[in-house]
Amino acid sequence: MESLDLSKLVNKKVLFFSPHMDDDAISAGALLYSLAKKNTIISVYVTNSAKGVSKDLSFEKKVKLRQVEGLKSCKLLGVKALFLNMDNPVLEVTKSNINLISDLLSKECPDIVFIPVSYDAHPTHAKVHDLVLEAARDVHIGEFWFYEVWTPITNPNFLYFFDKNIMKIKVRAIKQHKSQLERTDFVKAVLGLDTFRCVLGEELVSGFGGVSKIHGEYAEAFLISKKL
C-alpha cells in the first residue's frame, strides 16, 4: 500500500470512464480535482443515465438533466466532459461499442485510464469495466486505475489522502447531482468510506504498529495496474 505522490503526475492525459454522471465525483472527486491542476482530465460519461431520474419527465429532458448535472460537477472539479450516450436502450459489450471506445482511446492516447473494478455490484459499472478493457487490447495505455463506487476495492494498492477543504469541493460536486441525491445519500456514503480509508490507510501505508507519517482527514482508494 502506498500514498499517491501527485508531484510525479504532471502533463498527463487522463480518461475517466464514468458509467453515470455522478460516478467520477463519488469515487475520485478529490483526486480528479487535484490532478486537474497540472493534467488534462476528461470524464467520459458512457451512458445517458436517464433511467436514474425518478421525476416524471420526457426521456429527452431526463438526459438533459443528467448532462447539466454532470457539467456542473465537472466545472467544480476542473475537468472536461464527454457524453457517449451508449445505452440505447441498454448498454451492452457489443462490437460497435467496443470499436467506439477503441477509436476514442486511439484518438486521445491517454496515459491513465480510470474504470470501475470488475466486481462492482452495479451491472452497468461491470459492463463499462469489460467494455473498456476489451477496447484497449490493441491501444497503448500506460496505466489502468480501478476505482470503487458500489463495492469497495478489496485490495487497493494506492490511497490519495486529502483534507477537509478538498472534501468540501468533492461534496459540492456530488451535490450537483440533485436527481440522484433524492434517492440515495451519496454524500453520507462518501464521508463514511473516505474516513474509513484514511483512518485505516494511515497504518496500512506506514506499517502496522508504526507511527503514521500521513497527514490527512480522508482518503480515496485505487488499484493501479499497468496495461493488462
213 CB-near residues (< 8 Å, 6+ apart): 206
Which residue range is the domain that position 211 belongs to? 2-226
**pLDDT at residue 87, rounded to an integer:** 80
CATH of the domain at 187: 3.40.50.10320
Per-residue pLDDT tens over the stretch 66-76: 999 999 999 99
| pTM: predicted TM-score of the whole model, two decimal places | 0.94
**pLDDT at residue 228, rounded to an integer:** 47
**pLDDT at residue 140, rounded to an integer:** 87
To the nearest 10 degrees (0 to 180), the angle between helices 123-135 and 95-108 is 60
Domain count, the chain: 1
Q: Which parts of the chain register pLDDT below 70?
A: 88, 227-228
